[in-house]
Structure 1
């Protein structure tokens, strides 16, 4: 949370929102945008039932896979929202097609860099729970490696016990290793080891400018956000980044503001909401990273309102992250405006039954940020999308 003495006055939000443009940035996910269209459609209906309003969502004619329309009929006035899903799932699909042995070798390099640059140590120092869980995929990968070595040793010993040349055990050992690899892929449906390792590798490429395909995609995202922010018929332009999409959304928003220049003060209110973010993976450690530069710019930019929502129960997000102190940002004497850091308070907005079901299902818990509430609360994802109030008015200081 920004200390009161560090707050600075900037442009205020509109009194009400009638037309909004939302740019949703998913995390590192190989699933197509249709997955999110179906999720948003289903959960919007639940949200509407909770509030006793009519709300509907349809695919746009221009690009139905990523361009959607929401119409919500509130008592005072209807709200129209255009949602652009800034999907980059092709990047994840590309990465998941890389042979696992190459992924394993590259992951060792990435882990070595993360240790050498102090990224791991800083994450552990900032939040031990998140820091330890960030190392979870390598711990599991080590178990897989030990199982592979044990399998090879067992087949070689069996060949020797049968009086065969020890190398005769290599053929069945190779078949066993292939079976073990397939088993790890099957187990990934529950344990997400290869998924998280690929996520780490992508983040390393992003922070070191080693992924031109992703850079080109994100530059296009920034231009689309900037174009929307020039539309005088809109009341609010809202960028939402979830999970790894949080640091992508930060970079995209910072670049969009660069493209806008002073024109960013004349159009609709521009807001950024990061939810379930794991920003330290992209910003911690040495040397200076693009994410840290983007954060520094957004922290002092009064054209923007930025709120970061976290859930303490979610091991895949980083709670109570004040980026200025965490990354020791030098603001050069400029006044601070962002971000406001808030808890989504899952215990209060979801039923006890749902909360109990998710206690040990960390991946499903991570996606509760995108689910409709069971109870009213400050954090209501679909009110941010389709409600009549701007994000800045909905977000309250804790009482």
Structure 2
């Protein structure tokens, strides 16, 4: 069985004429405890690399400004002095405080949640569905669980060895009584885990563990803090657009962009925005939604996530928004070719399918061969390629999408750099 990496919905919103001169981007990062210090620097660095390689005219990028509630980091990018391009307001919607709170909880609680969530996912067959969609992501999901088993086994071995050495087990042992040697063995089994904390962080153990626990909790409906943040984000989008319109500031395109776990967040925010304002996307600026390397199936496929699937179903049939879902087979942490219309049990009630446009970013084409060989086995580096400057022109272009003169729909349907269709992915 194969799945195509591209899909164009039959009832896609009609094209709007005209060049984009003013764009408002609402960017939502993934499950990242350092979001407020990472993405402004990443944007500026990669834009400098992009202009060095491809030109694009000189632009001014303002300093970042943090909102009073600490939830939004904003900056502006001027239109180019020469050539075409949009003046862009860029708002990063922050939820890294929720992520940091997850990282700060007891390690024992995090591990317990991981074990329960993973076992449930295996027993209900969902893990096998993840593997069918992308076996590499399946390995990433299981990695913290397997590591917990290995670390627990090593801790028990170390504890038993210390207990045996301190007790009356060997001729050269200290001969301590059981009530003392056994607790010391347990302490030794725990202390060595703390001693390798730096190593565990380098291999992204806690990052991936907490990420998976969050997705599982969200799918179970156990993250009211995150739900409140979604509502706050939707309110920020609507109030910002209203203030901009009241001030007479023109806007040609509104883009909600999400990367990684933020891809799901972006879809949820877009659904709330559309539900709260029946005029958005129907009149005034058009609304575009771009999800980049999204892990949406991790939550949406969970049996308890009925509300989320209902929101996705509304997006799939909603013609007021153009939704483009970008994946890449070379990225370990996404689901190439995933299509909510086909892969989720959505209730569309006979309505025509308007979303999403599904496309492959084709990282192999965007990177020089030497770079590709160097990073192909570095999952996080490859995953972040969605936000980095291309090394070669390609159909996927993050900066053309967010700063260029064309709307997302046209950027996707008629990219400047065209390629032959990418082969289907075996399932």
Q: TM-score, normalised by structure 1?
A: 0.93
1:323-342 aligned within 5 A: 323-342=340-359
Cα offset for 1:364? 1.4
Where does residue 424 of structure 2 map in the other structure?
none
Q: 1:271 to 1:182 in 2, by over 3 A?
A: same
Residue 100 of structure 1 pairs with residue 103 of structure 2:
no
CA distance in 1 between partners of 2:17 and 2:64 (Å): 26
- 1:57 pairs, out of 58, 61, 86, with 61
Paired position in structure 1 for 2:15: 12
Deviation at 1:348, TM superposition (A): 1.1
Secondary structure of residue in 1 paired with 2:155: helix
Deviates more, 1:153-162 or 1:292-301: 153-162
Q: How does 1:209-358 map to 2 (within 5 A)?
A: 209-228=221-240, 233-358=250-375
Residue 171 of structure 1: how far off its partner (Å) = 4.7
Contact 1:13 1:392 in 2 (8 A): no
The whole-number CA distance in structure 2 between the counterparts of 1:93 and 1:288 is 24
Q: Pick one of 193, 198, 202 that aligns with 2:205.
A: 193
Aligned to 2:40: 37
Structure-2 change in CA distance of 1:344 and 1:202 (3 Å): same
Question: Is the alpha carbon distance of 1:74 and 1:135 closer, same or farther for their aligned partners in structure 2, counting shifts above 3 Å?
Answer: farther
Measured against aligned partners, the alpha-carbon deviations of 1:185-208 in whole angstroms (never above 9, x if no partner) come to 212333212211111221122223
| Paired position in structure 2 for 1:70 | 77
Shift of 1:3: 5.6
Calculate the aligned-residue CA RMSD, in Å: 2.2
Q: 2:389 aligns with which of 372, 380, 388?
A: 372
Q: Bigger shift: 208-217 or 249-258?
A: 208-217
How far off is 1:60 after superposition? 4.6
Aligned-pair distance for 1:9?
A: 4.7
> Aligned in 2, Cα 1:308/1:3: closer, same or farther, shift over 3 Å?
closer
> What runs of 5+ residues in structure 2 fail to find an aligned partner?
421-427
Q: Distance in 2 between matches of 1:70 and 1:344?
A: 24
Tell me what 2:162 maps to: 155
Any idea what SS the aligned residue of 2:23 has? Answer: strand
User: What is the CA-CA distance between 1:42 and the residue it aligns to?
Assistant: 0.8
CA contact (8 A) 1:44 1:55 kept: no
Distance of aligned partners of 1:342 and 1:263 in 2 relative to their CA distance in 1, 3 Å threshold: closer
Of residues 94-103 and 118-127 in structure 1, the stretch that sits farther from structure 2 once superposed is 118-127
Whole-Å separation in 2 of the counterparts to 1:353 and 1:56 = 32
Contact kept? 1:21, 1:228, Cα under 8 Å? no
Q: Which secondary structure does the structure 2 equivalent of 1:241 belong to?
A: strand
- TM-score, length basis structure 2: 0.87
Kindly tell me: are residues 359 and 99 of structure 1, through their superposed partners in 2, closer, same or farther at Cα, counting changes over 3 Å? same
Distance 1:236 1:81 in 2: 10
Question: Shift of the alpha carbon at 1:383?
Answer: 1.5
CA distance in structure 1 between the aligned counterparts of 2:336 and 2:307, rounded to whole angstroms: 21
Q: How far 1:14 moved relative to its partner? A: 4.4
CA distance in 1, matches of 2:39, 2:58: 21
* C-alpha distance in structure 1 between counterparts of 2:110 and 2:189, whole Å: 16
Compute the displacement of 1:179 (Å).
3.1
